[in-house]
Amino acid sequence: MTASEKTVLPELSYLRTTISNVVIELRNLRETSLEHRQRLNNPPKLPSRKTLADIIDKLSAALFPNRLGQPDLTGESIDYFVGYTLDTALRDLSAEVIRELHFASGLEAVSHTVRERAVEITHVFAGQLPAIRHILDSDIRAAYEGDPAAHNIDEVLVCYPGITAIIHYRLAHELHKLGVPLIARMISEIAHSLTGIEIHPGARIGDSFFIDHGTGVVIGETAIIGRKVRLYQAVTLGAKHFPVDEQGALIKGNQRHPVVEDDVVIYAGATILGRITIGHGSTIGGNVWLTHDIPPGSHITQAQMRHEKVPG
C-alpha cells in the first residue's frame, strides 16, 4: 500500500459512515411520511417519468415517422415501423396506466378491475391517435403560416419548441380526459422541462394553435382556447384568485382561467387572469395586464390599460 493510499483510506471510511447515517435518517423520514398517508406496507409505485418520456418519443415517431422516426425508413418499411413502435409504446403505456390506477385505488394488490380499466383506456387512446395527428397537422400548418422565419413545414416540426409542447399537450389531454390525470400531468411537465412552455393537460385548446418562441408561456387547467389562436413568449393565462373552503383549503376544480375565443393574437409578456373572455378576433399587446372581459375585435395595448379604469 502506498503512502497516498494510506492517506485516502481514513477519509473514505469517514465518508462511508456519514452515508450510512444519512441512509438511516432518510429511511426514518420516508417511513414517517408513508405512515401519515397510511401506506407503510408495500406502497404502490407511481408512473415512471423516464418511461413516459420514452413513450411520448415513440408515439411522436409513430405519428410522424418520416421526420421523428428512424432516418432510413422507406415506403415499404414505414407501416411496419409505425406498427412495431405503437405496439411497444402502448404496451408500456398500459403498464403505466395500471400503476396510476393502482395508486389511486389505495389497494395493496393490483385488482382485476384495474387491469381491465387500463386496457380499456389504452385501447380508446390508441383509437384517437389519427384524430390527434389530424389536429397536430393544423397546429404545424398554423406555425408555418404564422412565422415568416419558417422556411418549410418540416422545419417547424423538428425545430419549434411550441410544436414539441403542443404534441405533448395533445397526447396528454386525451389521457386526462380518459381518467389518468397524473400521467397526463407528468407528460405535460416533461414538455415544460424541455421547452419552458407549461400547458396543463386539462386545458381545452382548439385546432390551428400556434405558440411562437414560447419560453415562459403558462396555460392553466381550466383555460379554454378557441381555433386559430396565436400566443407569443411569456404569455400567462392564469387564475386571479384562489378561493378556499371553510377549513382554509384551496377549492379544486373551479373555473378560474380565461376563455380565449377564435382568431385571437396575444403578444409577448401579456398576463390574462381570471375567468374572463377575450372576444374573437381580438389582439392583446405585449406586457398587458388584463383581468376583465374584452369584446370581439378589440385591440388592447399597454398604453390603453394604464389610462383605463378597470371594472371592479
Question: pLDDT per residue over 76-101, tens digit each?
Answer: 899 999 999 999 999 999 999 999 99
Q: What is the spatial distance between Cα 146 and Cα 64, in angstroms, rounded to a whole number?
A: 21
Q: Specify the pLDDT at position 4.
A: 52
Decide if 298 is inside a domain: yes
* 117: phi then psi, degrees, rounded to nearest 5: -65, -40
Element (H, E) at 148: none
Which is higher by pLDDT, 286 or 108?
286
Q: Are residues 163 and 106 in the same domain?
A: yes
Span 265-281, pLDDT tens digits? 999 999 999 999 999 99
Cβ–Cβ contacts within 10 Å for residue 279, how many? 17
Domain interval for residue 103: 41-195
Q: Are residues 156 and 260 in the same domain?
A: no
- The domain total for the chain is 2
Decide if 17 is inside a domain: no
Rg (CA), the chain: 24
CA torsion angle for 194, 238, 186, 214 (degrees, to 10)? -20
Q: Are residues 186 and 255 in the same domain?
A: no
pTM of the model as a whole: 0.87
Span 113-148, pLDDT tens digits? 999 999 999 999 999 999 999 999 999 999 999 999
Task: State what percent of residues in the chain have pLDDT above 70.
Answer: 91
| Res 41 pLDDT > 70 | no
CATH number at residue 256: 2.160.10.10
Q: Are residues 147 and 65 in the same domain?
A: yes
Which of 137, 176, 167 lies closest to 154 in space, CA to CA?
137
Q: Are residues 111 and 175 in the same domain?
A: yes
